Amino acid sequence: MVDRPIWWSEELSILEDSLTKFFEAEYLPHEAEWEKAHIVPRAFWEKAGEAGILGISLPEEYGGMGGSIHHDAVLFDVLGKLGITGFGVHVHLIAAHYVLAYGSDEQKARWLPKLASGELIGAIAMTEPGTGSDLKAVKTRAVKDGDDYRLTGSKIFISNGINANFLMTVTKTGGEGSKGVSLLCVETDGLDGFRRGRNLDKLGQKAQDTAELFFDEARVPIANLLGPEEGRGFYQLMEQLPYERLMLAIGAVGFIDRAVDLARVYTKERTAFGQPIAAFQNTAFKLAECATEARIGRVFVEDCVAKYALGRLDVPTVSMAKWWTTEKQCEIVDTCLQMFGGYGYMMEYPITRLHADSRVQKIYGGTNEIMKELIARSL
């Protein structure tokens, strides 16, 4: 058994067991149905809220569990090990943490309890049709008009885009470059001038609703600006992106462990030329390589979690973690899929869905090319 990290506790073991049982009972039996529908129903989100999952690292005073980054790490590791990609809790928690970090007391009291319960489902409305990693170039604009902003623009590839009714929206509010970017908290229920586009058909993560969003002179209260003044959005994004990238790295090592376990079990059961294929040296050596890299990745990510908890996780290090673990995720899942032969090409096999679900890890949260650029700048 792999040693637990130094920050592990009995409480986290109990949480790990509880989360595993919850998802095995409430999510996995419906996964195929939700993948066909391309969405996880709000009823499941409400169950997750009742179980405390949606507010796992939010303060108790706002309806959360009062957990820490360690609790988040357990959640995303469990999701990875179970191969769950349709439940967009990652962007939901990211949106909530923006409010927690930069919201006023009134904003926290207004939104965080609803995010913890699932009454509000969060999303990050960042990417636009012509703008990905270059956040200073967003074209969505918010213009003051009395007590409101008139918000106009479009977003694409938005996770939770169909379900979400609380959008952490990246917009221009005036000013040049990064100084003109602000974050606007948009509650979409009953909002005139807001509409959702189609639920996008993706390579993988089929149950995760991903959509286009459109704003046409949508009136959003000025009081929904995140932070005390306009023009802080770019800096808020830069400060919070390490949290998102760490969550992706945690999920990646969970996925790697799942792929190796699936391959280990299958190769012991599958026979060729009168013996299990695990007995062939090539298979055994490949599994040994994958298991070793899985251990390296886990130790690295657990150290990043420890540093984050102490406020010492810097941008280059978390960029390394996001880049290396997601690259290895795609490589190792592909290696493990090869061991399944023709069955590895069939969508009914978990390893096949894992292969399709993994590819986007190198794209969202900042492409891996951007991660290497950030690392290079620090050298």
Active site residues: 244
> Are 112 and 65 spatial neighbours (Cβ–Cβ below 8 Å)?
no
**Residue 203, both tokens:** 């390579």
**Residue 73, both tokens:** 């790490």
Nearest to 252 by CA among 122, 360, 115: 360
Compute the residue count for the chain: 379
Cα 85 to Cα 115, 117, 181, 353, distances in angstroms: 20, 21, 30, 10
SS3 content of the chain, % helix, strand, coil (to 5): 55, 15, 30
Dihedral angle computed from the Cα positions of residues 129, 133, 136 and 137, in that order, rounded to the nearest 10 degrees: -30
CA atoms of 7 and 218, how far apart (whole Å): 46
Nearest to 218 by CA among 266, 177, 282, 169: 169
Phi and psi at 270, nearest 5°, equal: -80, 130
> Are 362 and 326 spatial neighbours (Cβ–Cβ below 8 Å)?
yes
CA atoms of 16 and 254, how far apart (whole Å): 13
Give one word for 83, left, alpha or beta, with left for phi > 0 and alpha for psi -120 to 50. Answer: left
CA atoms of 378 and 84, how far apart (whole Å): 34
DSSP string, 61-101: GGTS----HHHHHHHHHHHHHTT--S--HHHHHHHHHHHHH
Please state at what angle helix 315-338 crosses helix 233-269, rounded to 10 degrees. Answer: 30
DSSP string, 173-238: -SSSGGGGEEEEEEE-TT-TTEEEEEE---SS-TTS-EEEEEEEEEEEEGGGBSSSSTT-HHHHHH
